[in-house]
């Protein structure tokens, strides 16, 4: 088991390194130059020599390989460099923007789980087939709702019409309610769809017929036999969706004016602030890798078949 | 329904009251082409302690009938009309909620496939306990004790350990014992056993059927035994009901049905069932058999597979040797895990043996590589077990049979078409199937296509890996007759891989019996059957169903 864990962690490190390297190459290949964007501004009135000095201080003209090794070494020591645009350490910048994103994505993901499970449970328990096909069509509606439109609609209804949530200076919790809902609705759709398909599939398994033959009710079978078997395959997709959320929800943050990682990413792309982008890529990759690692390690807890590494069966 | 007699008033004599009385049962399924009735006017009786066998081929409606009785039809299935009386009470119109009160307690189920009939994420103990909990049989401690008792009763060693294990940690036979424990837990009046041993090896099958018999006698439970195997029905049932196309063709006491079948269909079933020992394929040996040239020589074959670590090896085949004369059939017999398929794969050249010698038609297979190995496939061809999975569903039958020709020496298009048509005629398929796709064909027709595909390259050796195991007995008999005819006409050599000793006895000249990778017996097939050289072979032969009543007569 421990060998398995070590192997998985090794793979995770490899993925992180690959993400770092690929993003480094791609960001270097970007046309444009962050230093020129900022300091060539005529208002600053800097001469060519001064700009050359600045360029030297950022070491942007040294060979790429040297820059690469230098950046790797710095990242390994937890030094993510300085934002060219804001002039502050990248680490501080990310930390400042992390908290809203963390709250938004965690709560959004939890709400999407609740929504998905509710939809799937209603569909499985509905006594009429017309009701079930109606419930099963809800995720398709959810997934095709544009996020910006949903966000604006929610603000219109709850803030302006019903005046339930103040739009100016809301409390920290009030400010999160609408964005969380906006985020959760589209995320819940694929989860609900996979859950419903799994439930339908598990219901056709012979062990369900055996459970019915024991005298178990439909509800009892769903709860005791179907639920766990149907949830297992959704773990992977759940992990991926949560990872995507952590990388920042650009549109939702923009609509609700939240200062999260999504907004920071957007600004840094505009400013070509390579150091910030590089750190964001590595952070997102790390979040992804960590979540996937957790999911992989969770599987054996839920599925006894994965607990023993079986050899070849003849 | 006009025959509804008031059983209740006549039920003073409990002994005569049937446990189950089905009368004019009709069941159908809603499909894309509307409602389709698959069970028509089925009526039968099961008396206390009796075993009634519902016998039929696939699609005969036997499983649908059984499912209708216990109310676990597929979602699109519907019990249309008829009476299902359990201990005198008509339950045909009962809701699922009402049925929940009797299922598991008065009537229970032993399912077909033990591998998928237990919840993979729950322990064995929890799954046995569930039936007791649902019907509120005592406290938690009492239930736990009863679970252990039940697991011990169905012959599981270390019942305390088994209760904590998960289904994947148990073998197929052990899982079926667990399912039997669940079925008998509350001593129901009726057990529906739906093909309870079809997925099991023959020796395990015998032990499981013996266990069901024993528990039935001990608890006085009646059994409705659904089976495709007339041999199993002959051995175990008091009463046989023969179904075909959803209708009862014949029913009566077992001895009567076997000795003097009244319907044409039953006679055909009896004639085709290899296990009843009545089927004999007229084998006239071709004169070439007397010649001494060997088509296949296998010497001391060993095949290892590495498992997990670098040094752990699993020896799948351990010192197997045999020779097959040209134009004859050699059978490799064994249960699952015996190494019979591994042996066949080594002979075809799919894997390199760890050690040993394989010579096919004078070619040393162990030294073949690359192009010469590819050329070798023209000499030897394979026919697989599952005629549903071994044909590409997107190709037409013509394309399927033509494909091997495209892989070797290019032939003009007209020559290929002529060859394909000739071989399809040879295997007894009509020309119109050429343009169809596999899904439009029956199982027997598909297996004929698979044989045609193998023969289109004019191979000298055909490896038949469980090639008739998935087929109904009447279809199986037809395919075996076809294989026999092809062998005589084309002088083919067959290597016949099978778990079914009865079929092996019918078709083969010589046989090797494999057990855990070792060859425990071998030689001319009648010698092995008459004078088995090992205890294992004796056990295998003894486990062939359909012998009990044959002895009795």
pLDDT in tens, B268-287: 888 888 776 554 554 544 44
B314 and B182, same structural domain?
no
**Do B183 and B310 lie in a common domain?**
no
β-sheet with B518-524: strand ranges across? B380-383, B461-465, B493-498, B329-333, B510-515, B518-524
Record: contact A206-B117, CB cut-off 8 A: yes
pLDDT tens per residue, range B112-142: 888 899 999 999 999 999 999 999 888 999 9
The pLDDT of residue B281:
52
Q: How far is B274 from chain A (nearest CA, A)?
A: 28
Work out the average pLDDT over A179-186.
90
Taking the Cβ of residue B122 and every Cβ of chain A, the question of whether any pair is shorter than 8 Å is answered with yes
When CB atoms are compared, the residue of B111, B120, B308 closest to A210 is B111
Any idea of the CA torsion for A212, A217, A221, A222, to the nearest 10 degrees?
Answer: 140
Q: pLDDT tens digits, residue range A103-152?
A: 889 999 999 999 999 999 999 998 888 898 899 999 999 988 888 888 88
Residue after which a domain boundary falls, among B239, B272, B305? B272
Which residues face B62 on adjacent strands? none
In a domain, B2, yes or no: no
Which of A249, A251, A246 is CA-nearest to residue A292? A246
Q: Do B140 and B266 lie in a common domain?
A: yes
Residue B103 to residue A207, Cβ atoms within 8 A = no
Candidate from B103, B111, B131 with C-beta closest to A206: B111
Q: Compute the nearest-CA separation of A13 from chain B (Å).
A: 24
Q: Least CA distance to B70: which residue of chain A? A: A213
- Does some domain include residue B3? no
Q: With a cut of 0.95, is the ipTM above it?
A: no
CB contact under 8 A, B112 and A206: yes
Lowest mean pLDDT among A89-93, A208-212, B124-128: A89-93
Q: Which domain holds residue B182?
A: 8-272
What is the mean pLDDT of the segment spanning B188-192?
Answer: 94
The b/e string for A149-174 (b: 16+ C-beta within 10 A; e otherwise) is: ebbeebbeebbeeeeebeeeeeeeee
B168 contact residues in A (CB cutoff 8 A) = 304-305
B51-87 confidence digits (pLDDT tens): 999 998 888 889 999 999 998 888 888 899 999 999 9
Interface of A to B at Cβ within 8 Å reads 204-207, 209-218, 220, 224-225, 228-229, 232, 302-305, 308-309, 311-312, 314
Is B434 found in the same domain as B499?
yes
Is residue A168 over pLDDT 90?
no
**Is B70 in the same domain as B97?**
yes
Cβ of B70 within 8 Å of Cβ of A213? The answer is yes
pTM (2 d.p.): 0.81
Interface test with B, best of A200, A201, A207, A208 (most B CBs within 10 A): A207
Give the minimum alpha-carbon distance from A163 to chain B in angstroms, rounded to a whole number.
48
- Token digits of residue A157: 């209804």
Is a pLDDT exceeding 60 seen at residue A242? yes
pLDDT in tens, B246-258: 999 999 999 999 9
Average pLDDT over chain A, rounded to an integer: 84
B163 shares contact with chain A (CB less than 8 Å): no
Task: Report percent pLDDT > 70 for chain B.
Answer: 92
Subunit contact B103:A215, Cβ cutoff 8 A: yes
pLDDT, tens only, B198-217: 878 888 888 899 999 999 99
Domains of chain A, residue spans: 2-76, 95-306
CA distance A174 to B520: 78
Residue B544's pLDDT band, with cuts at 50, 70 and 90, is confident
Domain co-membership, B213 together with B321: no
Asked if B119 has any chain A CB less than 8 Å from its own CB, the reply is yes
> Token pair for residue B463?
């490896």
* Number of domains into which chain B is organized: 2
- Asked whether residue B188 falls in the same domain as residue B105, the answer is yes
Cβ within 8 Å of A, B 172-211: 179, 182-183
CATH of the domain at B137: 3.40.50.300
Q: Considering only CB atoms, which chain B residues are within 8 Å of A298?
A: none
pLDDT digits (tens, 9 = 90+) for B489-520: 888 999 999 988 888 888 899 999 999 889 99
> Are residues B254 and B325 both part of a single domain?
no
Would you state the structure tokens that stand for residue B361, as one six-digit string?
């038609």
The tokens for B472 are 């109904």
Closest CA to A38 of A98, A96, A84: A84
Contact A214 B179 (CB under 8 A): no
Residue B37 CA to residue B79 CA, distance in Å, equals 10
Give the range with max mean pLDDT: A310-314, B315-319, B406-410.
B315-319
**Per-residue confidence (pLDDT) for residue A308, from 0 to 100:** 60
B253 and B219 belong to one structural domain: yes
- Confidence bin at B443 (pLDDT 50/70/90): confident
Look at residue B4 and tell me whether its pLDDT is greater than 70: no
Handedness of CA B439, B445, B450, B453 (dihedral sign): negative
Residues B38 and B186 in one domain: yes
Whether residue A311 contacts residue A45, with contact meaning beta carbons closer than 8 Å, is answered with: no
Q: What is the pLDDT of residue B292?
A: 57
Q: Is residue B281 part of a domain?
A: no
pLDDT of residue A83: 81
The C-alpha atoms of residue A106 and residue B512 are separated, in whole angstroms, by 64
Across the beta sheet with B77-86, the strand order is B34-46, B20-31, B77-86, B89-90
B239 and B144 in a single domain? The answer is: yes
Measure Cα distances from B452 to A96, B269, B457, B482, B502 in Å.
72, 26, 9, 11, 25
Q: Are residues B33 and B124 in the same domain?
A: yes
Residue A33: pLDDT over 80: no
Q: CB distance from B318 to chain A under 8 Å?
A: no
CATH code for the part of the protein at A95-306: 1.10.3720.10
Residues of chain A positioned with their CB less than 8 A from the CB of B102 = 215
């Amino acid at each position: 088991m421990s060998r398995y864990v070590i192997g998985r962690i090794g793979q995770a490190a490899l993925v992180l390194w690959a993400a770092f390297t690929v993003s480094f190459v791609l960001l270097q290949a970007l046309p444009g130059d962050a230093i020129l964007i900022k300091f060539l501004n005529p208002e600053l009135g800097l001469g060519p020599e001064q700009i050359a000095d600045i360029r030297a201080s950022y070491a942007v003209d040294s060979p790429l390989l040297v820059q690469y090794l230098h950046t790797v070494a710095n990242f390994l020591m937890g030094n993510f460099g300085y934002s060219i645009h804001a002039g502050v350490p990248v680490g501080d910048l990310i930390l400042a923007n992390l908290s809203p994103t963390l709250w938004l994505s965690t709560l959004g993901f939890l709400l999407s789980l609740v929504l998905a499970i509710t939809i799937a449970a209603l569909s499985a328990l509905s006594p009429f087939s017309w009701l079930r096909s109606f419930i099963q069509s809800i995720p398709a509606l959810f997934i095709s709702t544009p996020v910006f439109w949903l966000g604006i609609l929610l603000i219109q209804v709850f803030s302006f019409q019903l005046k339930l949530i103040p739009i100016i200076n809301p409390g920290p919790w009030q400010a999160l309610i609408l964005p969380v809902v906006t985020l959760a609705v589209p995320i819940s759709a694929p989860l609900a769809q996979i859950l419903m398909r799994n439930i339908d599939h598990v219901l056709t398994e012979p062990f369900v017929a055996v459970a019915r033959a024991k005298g178990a009710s439909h509800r009892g079978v769903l709860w005791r036999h179907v639920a766990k078997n149907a949830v297992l395959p959704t773990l992977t997709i759940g992990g991926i969706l949560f990872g995507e959320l952590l990388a920042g929800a650009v549109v939702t943050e923009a609509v609700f004016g939240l200062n999260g990682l999504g907004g920071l990413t957007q600004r840094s792309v505009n400013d070509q602030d390579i150091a910030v982008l590089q750190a964001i890529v590595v952070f997102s990759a790390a979040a992804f890798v960590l979540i996937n690692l957790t999911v992989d390690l969770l599987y054996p807890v839920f599925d006894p078949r994965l607990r023993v590494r079986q050899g070849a069966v003849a | 329904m006009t025959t509804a007699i008031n059983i209740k008033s006549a039920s003073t004599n409990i002994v005569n009251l049937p446990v189950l009385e089905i009368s004019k049962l009709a069941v159908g399924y809603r499909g894309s082409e509307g409602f389709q009735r698959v069970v028509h006017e089925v009526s039968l009786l099961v008396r206390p302690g009796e075993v009634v066998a519902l016998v039929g081929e696939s699609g005969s409606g036997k499983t649908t009938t059984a499912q209708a009785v216990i109310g676990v039809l597929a979602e699109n299935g519907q019990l249309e009309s008829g009476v299902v009386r359990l201990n005198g009470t008509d339950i045909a119109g009962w809701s699922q909620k009402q049925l929940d009160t009797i299922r598991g307690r008065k009537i229970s189920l032993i399912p077909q496939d033990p591998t998928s009939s237990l919840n993979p994420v729950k322990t064995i103990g929890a799954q046995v306990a569930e039936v007791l909990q649902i019907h509120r049989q005592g406290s938690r401690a009492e239930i736990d004790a009863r679970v252990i008792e039940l697991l011990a009763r169905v012959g599981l060693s270390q019942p305390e350990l088994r209760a904590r294990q998960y289904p994947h940690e148990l073998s197929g036979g052990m899982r079926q014992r667990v399912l039997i424990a669940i079925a008998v837990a509350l001593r129901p009046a009726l057990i529906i056993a739906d093909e309870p041993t079809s997925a099991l090896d023959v020796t395990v099958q015998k032990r499981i059927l013996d266990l069901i018999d024993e528990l039935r006698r001990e608890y006085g439970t009646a059994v409705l035994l659904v089976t495709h195997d007339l041999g199993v029905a002959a051995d175990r049932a008091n009463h046989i009901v023969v179904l075909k196309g959803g209708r009862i063709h014949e029913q009566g006491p077992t001895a009567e049905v076997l000795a003097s079948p009244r319907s044409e269909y039953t006679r055909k079933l009896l004639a085709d069932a290899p296990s009843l020992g009545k089927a004999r394929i007229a084998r006239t040996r071709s004169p070439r058999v007397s010649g001494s040239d060997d088509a296949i020589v296998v010497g001391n074959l060993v095949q290892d597979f590495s498992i997990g670590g670098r040094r752990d090896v699993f020896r799948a085949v351990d010192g197997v040797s045999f020779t097959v004369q040209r134009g004859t059939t050699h059978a490799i017999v064994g249960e699952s895990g015996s190494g019979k398929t591994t042996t066949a794969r080594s002979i075809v050249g799919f894997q390199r043996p760890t050690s040993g010698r394989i010579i096919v038609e004078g070619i040393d297979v162990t030294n073949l590589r690359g192009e010469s190995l590819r050329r070798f496939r023209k000499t030897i061809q394979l026919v697989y077990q599952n005629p549903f999975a071994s044909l590409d569903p997107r190709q037409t039958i013509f394309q399927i049979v033509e494909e091997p020709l495209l892989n070797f020496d290019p032939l003009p298009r007209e020559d290929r078409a002529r060859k394909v048509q000739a071989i399809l005629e040879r295997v007894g398929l009509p020309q119109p199937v050429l343009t169809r796709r596999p899904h439009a064909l029956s199982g027997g027709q598909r297996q004929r296509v698979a044989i045609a595909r193998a023969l289109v390259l004019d191979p000298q050796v055909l490896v038949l890996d469980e090639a008739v195991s998935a087929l109904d007995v009447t279809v199986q008999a037809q395919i075996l007759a076809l294989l026999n005819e092809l062998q005589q006409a084309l002088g083919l050599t067959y290597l016949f891989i099978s778990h079914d000793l009865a079929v092996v006895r019918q078709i083969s000249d010589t046989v090797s019996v494999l057990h855990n990778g070792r060859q425990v017996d071998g030689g001319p097939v009648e010698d092995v059957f008459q004078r088995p050289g090992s205890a294992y072979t004796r056990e295998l032969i003894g486990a062939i169903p359909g012998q009990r009543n044959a002895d009795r007569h």
